[in-house]
Structure 1
Amino acid sequence: MFSLVLQVADLLMIAVGALIALSLVYGDTAAPSHVDGLFGLLALVLALFAFHLSGVYRPRDVGNAARSTSRALGSWLAAQLAIGVISSSYPSAGPRDNWIVSWTVLAAVLMPIARYSLYAALRALRCRGYGRTPVAIVAPADDGYELATRLGSKRDAAFSLELIFDTTLEHDTRVADIPAVRQLDAFTQLVRAHRISELWIVDARDETLCVEQIVDAFRDDFVNIRIVPALNGRTLPEPAIVECLGMPVLNVVAAPERGLRALPKAVFDRLFALCALIALAPLMATIAIAVKCSSAGPVFFRQCRKGMNGEVFSIYKFRTMHQDADRPGEVTQASRNDARITRIGRFLRRSSLDELPQFINVLKGDMSVVGPRPHAVEHDEYYKNLVQHYMYRYRIKPGITGWAQVNGYRGETERVEKMAARVMFDIHYIQHWTLGFDLKIIGMTVIRGFGGSNAY
């Protein structure tokens, strides 16, 4: 979250610097040309590219104010140098070059001021106990005491140690006033009770309890699990290493990074959903009338589904089954020649037109256009115990269509192997997401059609 705040602050200071420089250079005597405006836009794009190329907003660097700010300034100056070189070869370069130089200097002054102000505000909040992430560790009690001492000496640290798990203890105790337990069941219950979102396994080589058991114990929880190779700090290669309290931390299970990188997807989702709802309004009105006339009951079918990080929301579909087709608390997947499905419902399900109201869910922010398909909560409870990494699908927003669906895995999953394959495709999508990948999936959905042999 703080990374996103820094990105917004940098962009704001760059924009403010540009406006002040414009007023200083051009004043009331002249107005900037459209070419100047294009150069301003190009400078912004180049700056964003340079920031991300140099890793200004990487988690391991954001925690260090001096390192992050120096990288941001270096990237900004490099981007503006490139703009200056390009600008000098275009006509009327004099005033524009003066503007670019003034803009560069002003932004280079404003960015550190804004950044260090934000870092100071963050430290003040953390010193008062706000904005700190609760952490549980799996470690010998001695290492737990060392980590608790570190955190206690850094009141502005981003993390607060809440719980220690040590299988070598003779009985449950307290270490540096931190509860320390020896039984895995008690540990998992306490992690859930205290809503702890970070779990660090310290120096797993010496831990009698294997990492796989820890991961398995929390497979249905949205807890980030990381390995700390050693408390004295060791340099390990990217990409799975982040830095916390000056220590290298290896991500084992963690939510995908968000921030400005996810902003294009969020904007695209809303714009695409809005355009789709406007364009498809006549078709959706026709379907609504057909559903209402075909059988008794409401036009829309609403069902609880899990969204990002397991948050439950109501998904919208056109009703395709007779009213009260399912028993309360029981959801049965539709199968071939299912008597519960209405005649118009059978067509809607085969063509996937019953999914169109989910663009409303996208506008509300519950879903994305592209992402893992959400399943009924009852199905989640069933499959999470049968399919490895099943719940990892919900680390991002679910989608109307997805990589699994365009590869043939849609509709009924009558065998566990089919669900396992669907999960495999979903995880591949999460790990390799780009906006271009989304566009590819949308294109494949349109080209291959919305129906399928398993859609009934």
Structure 2
Amino acid sequence: MIGSHRRIRLSSPMWHYVAIAMDALLITVSALVCFRWYFGTIEQGPILDRYSLLVLAAIVMMFGFSRSIHRSWRGNSLLDMLHPVLLSWFYSLAIIVAWLYLSKTSTNVSRLWFGVWALSTLGTMCMARLVIYAVLRWLRSKGYNFKTVLIVGHGPVSNFVQKAVADAPWSGLQIQAVVAPETLAAHLHTASRRQPDEVWLCLQLGDKAGIETSLDALRHSTANIRLVPDWFSLKLMNHGISEMVGLQLLDLSASPINGAAHVVKVTEDMVLAALILVLISPLMLAIALAIKLTSPGPVLFKQMRHGWNGQEISVYKFRSMVVHQEHGSGVTQATRNDARITPLGAFLRRTSLDELPQFLNVLQGSMSIVGPRPHALQHNEHYKELVPGYMRRHKVKPGITGWAQINGFRGETDTLHKMEQRVLHDLFYIENISLWFDLKIIFLTVLKGFIHPNAH
């Protein structure tokens, strides 16, 4: 066991304020350097005072985000640490820009200075965290700045947790011992044994006796006590804690789009969809004219699909088939060399240009740019009993492109395996949804192109 003289503590409240001061200093220094570069001087004057107000506003707003960006990141990845910094700085700058616009003082601030300051500050804050992250990894690899973890419980969950800790030596977590609930009290009362920093109960949710026995043994402990439920045996979605009418509720299947995440998603969709429609409007007009000239019937084809929370929505496409009547109430999927598809329609489907009108759906709010592709109502009725978790795809808005599509699961789903894989990828996206994941999917959609052998 590593001696107590190697237990460097960086989790006291003092370090929280040190981190806040570090960011305030980086924001200020970046602003002064950019001011000196742009104006050639940093002498006191009205101009410096005006810019100082912007810097002070940015510091105050970043202080408001301190709970999310200046907390302990032990056990989390580097991206988990940088992500809230990026979002907090973006929101702070957005508020400053809105304030400048509403107060009609935006012309008093150099756009070049503002842009360089924004990027350089973000770069220095991220770089500082990279250095801190590297130093902490090095310290923990040498046995410093660690926390001991006592695991209570045996079985699959306990084994999974032990492996996760062993695979992450950079976290500075060290397993002190693995004990059963009934032997926990005896373990803690051993005089020569140092008390653990963390106690993790790796017990089944229904093991009331084991949980109560453990909590009774820990009633005098000052360790952080955490329950590691057996999530791995359940197919849950976005499991977390919600608070309603003063009650703490455990989420077993819930939409990740709420609160700030909803605002970010809607803003992303509205801004990108508007920009894209402006850029592609000449192409859409050309396609509409070509459809009218080559085949009788409407330009757009509308089909009812399930949207967010299972609500029915009309999804737009450029018509790629001859006008026809489906037999009965079913919807026949398009197949390779389908006789109903027009020559122009075959090109549109192969290049995914028939999907362009769905950006109108995005502006209407019924679809998102990124999300699970919407299926016909009849297909949902068919597959929801065959594919586990199928209807959980509707916990978010359907999208024009998605994680399943860029991984090759698009077009005709002529086998159950293809649909299962599509659903697995859709659920993975919902579990990991974020602005950065959306941008990655959009980038990969553009990079890989819209043509795919499964599109017909």
TM-score w.r.t. the length of structure 1 is 0.52
The answer to whether 1:264 aligns with 2:273 is no
**2: CA distance, partners of 1:374 / 1:34:** 49
Structure 2 counterpart of 1:442, one-letter code: I
Deviation at 1:43, TM superposition (A): 2.9
Residues 242 and 279 of structure 1: is their aligned pair in 2 closer, same or farther, counting only changes over 3 Å? Answer: closer
Deviation at 1:45, TM superposition (A): 4.1
**2:420 alignment partner, SS class:** helix
Match of 1:371 in 2: 371
**1: CA distance, partners of 2:301 / 2:244:** 46
C-alpha deviations, 1:353-395, integer Å up to 9, x for none? Answer: 0000000010111111101001011110011011010000000
**2:373 alignment partner, SS class:** coil
Q: Quote the RMSD (CA, aligned, Å).
A: 3.4
Structure 1: tracts of 5 or more residues without a match: 1-28, 56-75, 81-202, 207-228
Structure 2 counterpart of 1:277, one-letter code: L
**2: CA distance, partners of 1:257 / 1:305:** 20
**2: CA distance, partners of 1:356 / 1:425:** 23
Residues 280 and 248 of structure 1: is their aligned pair in 2 closer, same or farther, counting only changes over 3 Å? Answer: closer
Deviation at 1:261, TM superposition (A): 2.4
The answer to whether 1:278 aligns with 2:301 is no
Matches within 5 A, 1:274-423: 274-327=274-327, 329-423=329-423
Residues 32 and 315 of structure 1: is their aligned pair in 2 closer, same or farther, counting only changes over 3 Å? Answer: farther
Deviation at 1:35, TM superposition (A): 3.0
Deviation at 1:235, TM superposition (A): 6.7
**2:298 alignment partner, SS class:** coil
Q: Is the 8 A contact 1:325 1:340 kept in 2?
A: no
Q: Is the 8 A contact 2:273 2:363 kept in 1?
A: yes
**1: CA distance, partners of 2:450 / 2:54:** 43
Matches within 5 A, 1:419-430: 419-430=419-430
Match of 2:227 in 1: 236
How many pairs were matched up? 262
Match of 1:253 in 2: 253
C-alpha deviations, 1:130-168, integer Å up to 9, x for none? Answer: xxxxxxxxxxxxxxxxxxxxxxxxxxxxxxxxxxxxxxx
Structure 1 counterpart of 2:392, one-letter code: Y
**2: CA distance, partners of 1:246 / 1:284:** 51
Matches within 5 A, 1:7-86: 33-48=50-65, 50-51=67-68
Structure 2 counterpart of 1:321, one-letter code: M
Range 293-302 or range 34-43, more displaced: 34-43
Q: Is the 8 A contact 2:257 2:396 kept in 1?
A: no
**2:251 alignment partner, SS class:** strand
Q: Is the 8 A contact 1:306 1:377 kept in 2?
A: yes
Aligned residues with identical type, % of pairs: 45
C-alpha deviations, 1:237-296, integer Å up to 9, x for none? Answer: 597445667776433222225101232221011010001111101000000001111111
Residues 346 and 424 of structure 1: is their aligned pair in 2 closer, same or farther, counting only changes over 3 Å? Answer: same
**2: CA distance, partners of 1:325 / 1:455:** 22
**1:280 alignment partner, SS class:** helix
**2: CA distance, partners of 1:326 / 1:53:** 59
Deviation at 1:451, TM superposition (A): 1.6
**1:282 alignment partner, SS class:** helix
Structure 1 counterpart of 2:51, one-letter code: H
**1: CA distance, partners of 2:247 / 2:388:** 30
Spell out structure 1 runs of 4+ moving beyond 6 A. Answer: 52-55, 244-247
Residues 266 and 45 of structure 1: is their aligned pair in 2 closer, same or farther, counting only changes over 3 Å? Answer: farther
Deviation at 1:54, TM superposition (A): 6.3
Q: Is the 8 A contact 1:313 1:366 kept in 2?
A: yes
Structure 1 counterpart of 2:442, one-letter code: I
Residues 316 and 244 of structure 1: is their aligned pair in 2 closer, same or farther, counting only changes over 3 Å? Answer: closer
Matches within 5 A, 1:167-206: none
Structure 2 counterpart of 1:290, one-letter code: A
**1:253 alignment partner, SS class:** coil
Q: Is the 8 A contact 2:305 2:374 kept in 1?
A: yes
Structure 2: tracts of 5 or more residues without a match: 1-45, 73-87, 93-204, 216-224, 230-238
C-alpha deviations, 1:325-359, integer Å up to 9, x for none? Answer: 53352211110000011110000000000000000
Structure 2 counterpart of 1:410, one-letter code: R
**2:321 alignment partner, SS class:** coil
Structure 2 counterpart of 1:304, one-letter code: M
**2: CA distance, partners of 1:317 / 1:53:** 47
**1: CA distance, partners of 2:283 / 2:353:** 9
TM-score w.r.t. the length of structure 2 is 0.52
Deviation at 1:315, TM superposition (A): 0.5
Q: Is the 8 A contact 2:396 2:430 kept in 1?
A: yes
